[in-house]
């Protein structure tokens, strides 16, 4: 019944995924003429779920066969998924690296197999040249700068003499964590009113955002003027803790978030968040266009950053259009 090697490999691919038990079952390719293997890092946030959905939608629209694996927040699952994509001989591999280090070996295997690799959303650190074809993702440094510039404007508007900031960061050693922090710190560093009391790691998770906020309130209490949170999920976890402590988020404490998902925008409209810097998860279209170009042997841009906006209490928030994630 199995007529050729490619179908046998497909069966082996599906079985390997099931046996490995390391994520969602790989999907059957929709168009075997152009196959993309995509390793998503997890489903930790509304952003991530929106990103996965967008990639699936755009793959359908562009007629690209998609093998999607969810690594459930584990780098070893992503490495195993990339190895399965290589074994199946997909045309292009894409992945969103959970952290920046530790990819050289598997990417060298992809290179030796002649399969181009696209980084989606996050970057990697490597000494080797030519392991990846390009990066499609946000300019996280700029997001940090935009957050800090808003804070400086807000401090001016409120005539603040000293601004005590706590930072809740995303996953340690991930690109958004490193670059958002760098952009924010570099920018506030030029304003001597700004003091960072501490930075804590909230891993981009709502539950961790709540835990971090409890810890921050017990250490610093009313001294906190600003919470800079690296994503909406952690912000939404932190807000109830601030209210439980008898404080009003958005008024007693300035709240700055990143992503711009619908839930955070709704809370911005209620005045409990002051600023949300957009980080768009809609990377699917650029991804499919790049996949098609690579398959055709065409040149692709080394880095593609989407345009991103900022939503703040300085504007008429009622006019913000539905976000779609
Ligand atoms: O890499 C993008 C970040 O990852 C988003 O800001 C966050 O919500 C997600 O989990």
How far is the C-alpha of 222 from the C-alpha of 209, rounded, in Å? 18
For residue 176, the ligand 1 atom closest to its alpha carbon is 1
How far is the C-alpha of 259 from the C-alpha of 275, rounded, in Å? 11
Let me know: does 10 contact 17? Beta carbons within 8 Å: no
CB of 258 sitting under 6 A from ligand 1: yes
Distance 204 CA to ligand 1 centre (A): 7
Among 317, 320, 277, which residue's Cα sits nearest to residue 147? 277
Let me know: does 301 contact 263? Beta carbons within 8 Å: no
- Our mutation pick for probing the ligand 1 site, out of 41, 137, 168, 176, counting the most ligand atoms within 8 A of Cβ, is 176
CB of 184 sitting under 6 A from ligand 1: no
CB of 187 sitting under 6 A from ligand 1: no
- Location of each CATH 3.40.50.2300 domain in the chain: 35-137+281-307, 140-279
**CATH, range 140-279:** 3.40.50.2300
Distance 169 CA to ligand 1 centre (A): 11
Note the pLDDT of residue 33.
Answer: 80
What's the pLDDT tens digit per position in 253-288? 999 999 999 999 999 999 999 999 999 999 999 999
| The model's pTM | 0.90
CB of 272 sitting under 6 A from ligand 1: no
Note the pLDDT of residue 243.
Answer: 98
Cα-based distances in Å from 155 to 42, 191, 311: 37, 10, 17
Among 271, 306, 267, 256, which residue's Cα sits nearest to residue 149? 256
Note the pLDDT of residue 14.
Answer: 44
CB of 279 sitting under 6 A from ligand 1: yes
- Our mutation pick for probing the ligand 1 site, out of 170, 203, 238, 308, counting the most ligand atoms within 8 A of Cβ, is 170
Note the pLDDT of residue 29.
Answer: 54
How far is the C-alpha of 71 from the C-alpha of 38, rounded, in Å? 10
Residue linked to tokens 């439980």 = 244
Residue 316 tokens read as: 């008429």
Q: Kindly report the CATH class assigned to 35-137+281-307.
A: alpha beta
Residue 325 tokens read as: 């994630």
How far is the C-alpha of 17 from the C-alpha of 33, rounded, in Å? 22
CB of 135 sitting under 6 A from ligand 1: no
CA 65 to chain centre: 23
**pLDDT average per 10 residues of sequence, the chain (325 residues):** 44 45 48 87 97 98 97 98 98 98 98 98 97 98 98 98 98 98 98 98 98 98 98 98 98 98 98 98 98 96 97 96 96
């Amino acid at each position: 019944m199995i007529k050729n090697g490619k179908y046998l490999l497909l069966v082996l691919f599906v079985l390997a995924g099931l046996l490995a038990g390391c994520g969602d079952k790989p999907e059957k390719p929709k168009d075997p003429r152009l196959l993309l293997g995509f390793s998503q890092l997890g489903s930790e946030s509304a952003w991530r779920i929106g990103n996965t959905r967008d990639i699936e939608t755009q793959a359908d629209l562009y007629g690209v066969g998609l093998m999607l694996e969810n690594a459930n927040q584990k780098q070893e699952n992503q490495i195993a998924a990339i190895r399965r994509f290589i074994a199946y001989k997909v045309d292009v591999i894409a992945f969103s690296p959970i952290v920046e280090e530790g990819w050289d070996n598997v990417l060298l295997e992809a290179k030796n197999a002649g399969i181009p690799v696209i980084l989606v959303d996050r970057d990697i650190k490597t000494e080797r040249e030519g392991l990846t074809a390009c990066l499609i993702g946000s300019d996280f440094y700029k997001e940090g700068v935009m957050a800090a510039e808003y804070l400086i404007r807000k401090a001016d508007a409120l005539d603040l003499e000293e601004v005590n900031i706590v930072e809740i960061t995303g996953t340690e050693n991930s690109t958004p964590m490193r670059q958002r922090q760098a952009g924010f710190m570099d920018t506030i560093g030029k304003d001597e009113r700004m003091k960072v009391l501490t930075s804590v790691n909230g891993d981009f998770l709502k539950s961790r955002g709540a835990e971090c906020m409890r810890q921050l309130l017990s250490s610093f209490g009313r001294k906190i003027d600003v919470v800079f949170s690296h994503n909406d999920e952690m912000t939404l976890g932190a807000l109830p803790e601030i209210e439980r402590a008898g404080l009003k988020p958005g008024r007693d404490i300035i709240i700055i978030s990143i992503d711009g998902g619908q839930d955070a925008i709704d809370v911005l409209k209620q005045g409990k968040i002051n600023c949300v810097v957009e980080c768009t998860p809609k990377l699917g279209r650029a991804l499919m266009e790049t996949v098609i170009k690579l398959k055709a042997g065409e040149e692709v841009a080394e880095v593609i950053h989407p345009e991103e906006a900022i939503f703040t209490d300085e504007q008429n928030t009622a006019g913000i259009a539905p976000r779609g994630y």
